[in-house]
Structure 1
Amino acid sequence: MTTSPVLTWEILENRGYETAWARRTETSLHARGRAVGMTPEPYWISYSLRTGDGFVTRELRVTAESADGVRELVLRHDGTGRWTVGGEPRPDLDGALDCDLGLCPLTNTMPVLRHGLHRSGGEREFRMAWVSVPDLTVYASTQTYTRLEGTGDGGALIRFVSGDFRREVEFDADGFVVDYPGLARLVGRGESPARDHG
């Protein structure tokens, strides 16, 4: 089954918005998105995301535009655990399967779908290639997802923990963020014709 949702979130933390045009199959996710933020300074973000089987990130391309100019990032995963940033090896990211674009609710979807956390119980710890915005610096990040309970629409409430940061995030039945307290909330969802966003 393939779905092609168009998702729009209000991004509370940076007083902005994000829209993602996604294509999700049973095993992969391709998407492109555009975001605008006002904090810490006005900026635009454009990105494209491509995963392989098992929702494992293969490539994230990001462009950020602010008063300082335009910055670009190409983050790639070789499918076996090794990463490059701008073509340069990043051994500190070895073992990570996912990217996590800062303030981007879409990139919380891949680990949830891979392990079915929106459908059944469990706790999982992940190593992530986390991208700070708007500067596009990439860091290794340890994150834990714990399914707390199901929701009436077939989704789930999942606790997200990274260091001292923790939130109870609501996901829908398709594994997309509905409510991320203090960070983002879904304000619109539609469907677009199926297409390849890679």
Structure 2
Amino acid sequence: MSVRSRNVRLMATMAKSIFWSRTDTAGSEQALFTDGDGLAARGTLLAVDPIPFTARYRLTTAPDWSTARVEVEAEGSGWLRRVTLERAASRWRVTTAEQGDLDAALTRAGHPRSGLPGTDDPDRLAEAQDVDLSGSPLFNSVPVRRLGLTSGPADMPRRITVAWVLLPGLEVVPAEQIYSGLGPGRVRFASGTFTADIDLDADGYVVRYPGLAERIDPR
């Protein structure tokens, strides 16, 4: 069964939902997913920084939680961009599409121009087993589950390379990240000079990511 067929089949039985409120800016994320055999998810992010935009994604992992395919569409006033990353035979295939003028919208708002969507050299992503979508707490759960950090005692730091998809422009760059288990329900995330201790539920999904988002549970 192809990744796309598996994704469609799993979406048809989607039952779980998580909603996060952004704490770094006005915004939110809702993810709908199934995780019985790896992860198949679709979600929507809303944010006003650096300019108001909506991003929609689909994410599929292999049963071992290594990422197989990610599709992201970002849209704002007068522009729309898409990027698809698909991993096969230890290589990433990256395709993009663009309509309108994101750079004009950024310039009008007083922000720097964005990079082009995607990457001009997919081989730079060769070491990545995970994709990280900026501003999305869901994508942190993928390496957490893949590395087995959801439970158990504090662990040694695990250094990984991710394909980092930047919002809103959808530029894709390799990034080094470090995940360290801090005992059940908590991991430490580090990238460059940034560090955050993330609270997780029993299944490894983010409950609180200081400086980024907090989960909103039904009452």
Structure 2 letter corresponding to 1:109: S
Which residue in 1 is equivalent to 2:39? 29
* CA pair 189-102 structure 1, distance change in 2 beyond 3 A: farther
2:77 pairs with 1:57: no
Does the 8 Å CA contact 1:83/1:89 hold for their aligned counterparts?
A: no
* CA pair 175-189 structure 1, distance change in 2 beyond 3 A: farther
CA-atom RMSD in angstroms: 1.9
Which residue in 2 is equivalent to 1:142? 176
Which residue in 2 is equivalent to 1:6? 17
2:198 pairs with 1:169: yes
- In 2: Cα distance, 1:90 partner to 1:184 partner: 30
* 3-state DSSP of counterpart to 1:113: helix
Deviations 1:101-154 (A, max 9, x none): 01011101111111220112322111000000011000101000001132xxxx
Q: Tell me which of 145, 168, 172 is aligned to 1:113.
A: 145
* 3-state DSSP of counterpart to 1:111: helix
Name whichever structure is richer in strand by fraction. Answer: 1
**TM-score, with length taken from structure 2:** 0.78
Matches within 5 A, 1:63-74: 63-74=73-84
Deviation at 1:3, TM superposition (A): 8.5
* 3-state DSSP of counterpart to 2:183: strand
Deviation at 1:4, TM superposition (A): 3.7
* 3-state DSSP of counterpart to 2:144: helix
Deviation at 1:166, TM superposition (A): 0.6
* CA pair 135-14 structure 1, distance change in 2 beyond 3 A: farther
Which residue in 2 is equivalent to 1:185? 214
**TM-score, with length taken from structure 1:** 0.86
Does the 8 Å CA contact 1:32/1:49 hold for their aligned counterparts?
A: yes
- In 1: Cα distance, 2:14 partner to 2:85 partner: 25
* CA pair 175-3 structure 1, distance change in 2 beyond 3 A: farther
Which range moves more in the overlay, 30-39 or 83-92? 83-92
Does the 8 Å CA contact 2:151/2:183 hold for their aligned counterparts?
A: no
2:42 pairs with 1:42: no
Does the 8 Å CA contact 1:105/1:184 hold for their aligned counterparts?
A: yes
Unmatched tracts of structure 2, length 5 or more = 1-12, 97-119
Deviation at 1:13, TM superposition (A): 2.1
Does the 8 Å CA contact 1:15/1:38 hold for their aligned counterparts?
A: yes
Percent sequence identity over matched residues? 34
- In 1: Cα distance, 2:75 partner to 2:160 partner: 30
Structure 1 letter corresponding to 2:196: R
Unmatched tracts of structure 1, length 5 or more = 151-155, 191-198
Deviation at 1:63, TM superposition (A): 0.6
Structure 2 letter corresponding to 1:112: V
